[in-house]
Structure 1
């Protein structure tokens, strides 16, 4: 395959073979990485965090993406704002810490002061004619769905239709009460490998029987579909859905496979006799939301390109992928429980995080191994299995965005 000196990104994207993994250059090249940041991450809604991380006015966190730093802050009236962490004077970074609590934002360089909404309220010795109203922080669009904070880095008029995503996803999330949840634990896993390798891995379970014995033990669909692809959905899911529907639970799935920002949401049983996704199937925390009983189901949401979640009756796991550079990716997992749950009494962090923690450690090594292979001069793209349809769909969407933006 030609290198970047011979072909443009768009030309290289158009040359990729459908149904196959990408050429080496897409996983290592700096120019393609910068294009990914601009076209993919700059033009989709990005998940940042859960609202309980910034519960009161003045609470803030920062989110780093593609060389940009974004301040996410709770305003004085409870509204959530997102501002670029760049002073409008001479460009200094304003917030030096990843999180904290402030009354105002003060630039450490020349002391310009901004209120929580991003408005410039003080700038000394600027002379006549200086208009503070023209020097507020550059802000990003913010949306919150079920306690989950999303931002859009581009012009809001160009953003994917968030209302449509919300309408499809919210009925599945509302029973889990994520607006009445709190963060029990957060863990960051940094892996060697391009962000696309991490997302490709996340979107298929063809590897699960081989690489994830713990996940496979908990989730019945893995071995069932490994033996006969699609047999879980054909033979087990319909009967379970009928029973769950009779009890008032949301069932089925919704997916938008194309467009600016594909997403999917579905609900399915964990395995017979399992109440939640734990090492023994027993509860690890109190029931969440308005659930009255453990129904043994897993609600999964996937927002391309960098967010997924899994909600069971007693806890939710949030999964965020963030590209660091062309060959390193951060996977950040956050576990939510009911806001009234008490650590050490109602839940134990080690039991709570067990399945996704061990699975993500394994994934980090799988991704690193994959990276080492695709950087070889002898690597050539291979065909996807029928069990990798989610990954194939992601790669097709990704190439389409590169070509058509």
Structure 2
């Protein structure tokens, strides 16, 4: 009787990954790869965590869970955003169990060790003589904000290129005034699929015929050109070319940067940013393309600014219009479950029911998210079949290849250590 073939190691699977094809099944299905993804990717990259608008006042906090890590994001008394491991320095108890709230001090519910919102230990009852509170502050986590967006990194030494990325993208995002925005709505959706399928799905529009609401106002032309645009999309492409020329004139007159910067797979903090027109009225993500919010995010002289799109590896994408912004954060929960958190931001003084209707504001992306959840669940189900073999990416899926190449590069670097 022949012995069973030995299981292929993660390192072997990473090394033999064919360029231009989807990953082999274990990358999406295995517990081992899920743990590797947390340690090699999420714990060593800058990840999007929240908008500053989620922490409007000193003492406001949210907790972010990434695999075994729990992080407290809190606005301190100087109104800076701080990040700490959600672990008491006494005997390791989880300190804050709620997803969000507001505190005067951070108090562990076990033995009531008390920390300031700057992480310093303020009170620890019944300690031995010589106990030094300064040695037992909360362990900090690297945190950075870019124009109202909060990013964190769990690594002891985070990727050093983030400063450069921030310097290059902040001029694009800052005009949208997110530091003076508020949260209009936040929806958490659990997709029944591996997190990489969620990201792959976002990085292409090959499937965008499945988004009828989005296609009303959004040009579904990802990576299509004059030469390869299909006949069904030719009228859309011609509208886009005209709208793009008009938009570029507007951007230049307002001093808004719009050129595409695409460095998705050749650096530790892979990113893409671009400003481009929207269809119809060209103002927002609505059924008629008109602004969903009367009070614009900033003092723009026109609402017809299309969209600013920003992608960041490994877990985020963003859309900024003149009237509102939408952030998307992806957090792995299990090999077959992924949290997608969508947050709609509007001007801090915009009033629901007066300046905007919440259903109108959220309809297109809420519908699109539900459709994407169904698509990636189908993908995960299919990959779970023994009949699955990796298939080739379409030329219009080049950003999927960029994402997977970036991901494989991160795994190789981790495994080689």
TM-score by length of structure 2 reads 0.91
Contact 2:190 2:337 (C-alpha < 8 Å) held by counterparts = yes
2:260 to 253, 269, 272: 253
1:355 to 344, 364, 369: 364
Give runs of aligned pairs for residues 215-234 of structure 1, distance below 5 A: 215-222=214-221, 225=224, 229=228, 232=237
Q: d(CA) in 2 for partners of 1:251 and 1:15?
A: 38
Which position in structure 1 is the counterpart of 2:67? 66
Contact 1:244 1:250 (C-alpha < 8 Å) held by counterparts = no
Q: Give the stretch that moved more between structures: 248-257 or 183-192.
A: 248-257
Q: d(CA) in 2 for partners of 1:246 and 1:92?
A: 54
- The Cα RMSD (Å) is 2.1
Q: d(CA) in 2 for partners of 1:224 and 1:256?
A: 15
Q: Secondary structure at the match of 2:224?
A: helix
Contact 2:25 2:388 (C-alpha < 8 Å) held by counterparts = yes
What runs of 5+ residues in structure 1 fail to find an aligned partner? Answer: none
| 1:244 aligned onto 2:231 | no
Q: Secondary structure at the match of 2:53?
A: helix
Shift of 1:129: 3.1
Which position in structure 2 is the counterpart of 1:185? 185
Cα displacement string for residues 290-335 of structure 1 (whole angstroms, at most 9, x for unaligned residues): 3111124110000110011001111111011010011100111000
What runs of 5+ residues in structure 2 fail to find an aligned partner? Answer: none
TM-score by length of structure 1 reads 0.94
1:369 to 373, 378, 381: 378
How many pairs align? 401
Q: d(CA) in 1 for partners of 2:281 and 2:383?
A: 41
Q: d(CA) in 2 for partners of 1:404 and 1:72?
A: 29
Q: d(CA) in 2 for partners of 1:264 and 1:118?
A: 34
Q: d(CA) in 2 for partners of 1:68 and 1:45?
A: 14
Cα displacement string for residues 34-83 of structure 1 (whole angstroms, at most 9, x for unaligned residues): 11001110111111111122122111111111122111111111121111
Cα displacement string for residues 160-185 of structure 1 (whole angstroms, at most 9, x for unaligned residues): 42221111111111221111111100
Q: d(CA) in 1 for partners of 2:199 and 2:222?
A: 22
Contact 1:42 1:153 (C-alpha < 8 Å) held by counterparts = yes
Give runs of aligned pairs for residues 258-297 of structure 1, distance below 5 A: 258-285=266-293, 286-297=295-306
Q: d(CA) in 2 for partners of 1:223 and 1:74?
A: 38
Contact 2:283 2:303 (C-alpha < 8 Å) held by counterparts = yes
Q: d(CA) in 2 for partners of 1:401 and 1:4?
A: 28
2:330 to 321, 324, 331: 321
Cα displacement string for residues 326-359 of structure 1 (whole angstroms, at most 9, x for unaligned residues): 1100111000111110001000111001111110
